[in-house]
Chains A and B, each alone.
With several copies, the nearest count.
Chain A
Amino acid sequence: MGKIYSSAAEALDGLLFDGMLIAAGGFGLCGIPENLISAIREAGTKDLTVASNNAGVDGFGLGVLLESRQVKKMMSSYVGENDEFMRQYLSGELELEFNPQGTLAERMRAGGCGIPGFYTKTGVGTVIADGKEVKQFNNEDYILEEGIFADLSIVKAWKADETGNLIFRKTARNFNPPAAMCGKVCVVEVEEIVPRGTMDGDHIHLPGIYVHRIIQGDHEKRIEQRTTRKREEA
Chain B
Amino acid sequence: MPWDRNQMAERAAQELDDGMYVNLGIGIPTLVANYVGDKDITLQSENGMLGMGPFPYEGEEDPDLINAGKQTITELARTSYFDSATSFGMIRGGKIAAAILGAMEVAENGDLANWMIPGKLVKGMGGAMDLVAGVGRVIVVMDHTNKHGVSKILKRCTLPLTGRGVVDRIITNLGVLDVTHKGLHIQELAPGVTRDEMIAATEATIV
Please give the residue numbers on chain A whose beta carbons come within 8 Å of chain B beta carbons, in ascending order.
Answer: 1-2, 27-31, 53, 76-81, 86, 90, 98, 100-106, 108-109, 111-115, 120-128, 158, 161, 163, 165, 168-178, 181, 196-197, 199, 201-202, 204-205, 207-210, 221-231
Binding site for A on B (CB under 8 A): 18-19, 21, 40, 42, 44-51, 54-58, 60-67, 69-73, 75, 77-85, 87-96, 111, 121-130, 133-134, 160-165
A102, A104, A170, A225: the one within 8 Å of B71 (CB): A225
User: Which of B63, B87, B127 touches A223 (beta carbons < 8 Å)?
Assistant: B63
Residue of A nearest to B60 (CB): A228
Q: Decide: A171 near B49, CB < 8 A? Known: A98-B125, A228-B58.
A: yes
The smallest beta-carbon distance between A218 and chain B, in angstroms, is 14
Main secondary structure of the interface of B (DSSP, over half): loop
Separation of A61 and B62 alpha carbons in the complex (Å): 18
Min CB distance B7 to A, Å, is 22
Q: Are A208 and B50 in contact (CB under 8 A)?
A: yes
Tell me the bound Cα distance from A136 to B87 in angstroms: 25
The residue from B44, B57, B69 contacting A228, defined by CB atoms under 8 A apart: B57
Contacts of B75 in A (CB 8 A): 170, 201
Which residue of the partner chain, among A114, A207, A221, contacts B93 with CB atoms under 8 Å? A114
CB of B2, distance to nearest CB on chain A (Å): 29
Q: How far is the CB of B104 from chain A (nearest CB, A)?
A: 14
A-B CB contact pairs (8 Å), 19 listed: A29-B70, A30-B66, A80-B121, A102-B87, A102-B92, A102-B130, A103-B130, A105-B85, A113-B93, A122-B92, A125-B165, A127-B161, A173-B82, A201-B81, A207-B90, A209-B50, A209-B90, A221-B64, A227-B72
- Please give the distance in Å from B53's CB to the nearest CB on chain A: 10
Inter-subunit contact B55/A173 (CB<8 Å)? no
Q: For residue B72, which residues in chain A have a CB less than 8 angstroms away from its CB? A: 223, 225-228
Which listed residue, B19, B121, B134, touches A122 by the CB 8 Å rule?
B134
Q: Chain B residues with Cβ under 8 A from A111's Cβ?
A: 93
